[in-house]
Amino acid sequence: MLDDDGLPLDEVGAWAKDKHDRLRKYVDISRAARRKFVEGSGGATYIDLYCGAGRAVVRETGETIDGSPLVAFKCAREGGVPFSEIHIADTDEEKCRAATQRIANAGGRAAVEIGLAGDTAARIIARLNKYGLHFAFLDPFNLDDLPFSVIEAFSGLKRIDMLIHVSAQDLQRNLDAYSMSADGPLDHFAPGWRTAVSQKQTQKATRAAYIAYWASKMEALGLPPARHAELVSGTTKNQRLYWLVFVSRSDFAKSLWEKIRNVSGQGELL
């Protein structure tokens, strides 16, 4: 499916609008902090390892909406503090090029990488100013698409905030199948979990223990997740879909997230 600009569209569920609303709100509420780095020598960057085509159609309504890279770019510009650099990546080259073109059409410029997140993260990080303020939006389709090596790579940056999509639906539907795989998605997402999480308990307890273990691995890197994260539910069947987990070393950044994370009053991560 093509948009009016002749470029391809992603297809998303209606809940994507809620997810992008949180992204937009964080980019907006953090603009004062970003300004200090944009006007200084370090700069402020936006990083999106799963950028898609930059525009999408909502399957339930047919509405076309901006994807995450355009949401972040436009919000920062409209707030008067545009990002110094935008780095986007995806495994789909056609979609990645489309997102790059759409950012250019909107008056911006993005550096682009093609490939798996574990590879593109390393290449992007190598180009970043180590004194800058960096914000990464990590929105994979499933747990397997976000190996923990990506978070480890970003942990080497002095100032890095991450907003991470964790698929609760993937974990809920596939826990048994993933657990039986010797080197499966759960092992990539949270290596070492089998020695820390007992599987001799209910599925609900196992899922909670698994997520707690994943959070502890980030804490060990000096990147403690914010105390709460947003559980987003489907608009028609009240489905458990995903959490948005905010991760930062900065107490101030986490205080900003607390102001916007739970506008709908839905569930918490732990």
> Which range, of 64-78, 144-158, 184-198, 235-249, averages the lowest pLDDT?
235-249
> Which range, of 201-210, 233-242, 249-258, averages the lowest pLDDT?
233-242
Q: Of 95, 72, 67, nearest to 84 (Cα)? A: 72
In the prediction, which pLDDT does 90 show?
98
Please determine, for residue 181, whether its predicted confidence score (pLDDT) is greater than 90: no
Joined tokens for residue 254: 């986490």
In the prediction, which pLDDT does 2 show?
87
Average pLDDT over residues 157-180: 92
Q: How confident is the model at residue 233 (pLDDT cuts 50, 70, 90)?
A: low
> Which range, of 35-49, 199-213, 250-264, averages the lowest pLDDT?
250-264
> Which range, of 25-34, 88-97, 185-194, 230-239, averages the lowest pLDDT?
230-239
Edge-to-edge, what's the strand order for the sheet holding 85-90? 111-114, 85-90, 44-48, 133-138, 160-167, 240-247, 230-233
189 contact partners, CB below 8 Å, separation of at least 6: 143, 144, 146, 147, 148, 214
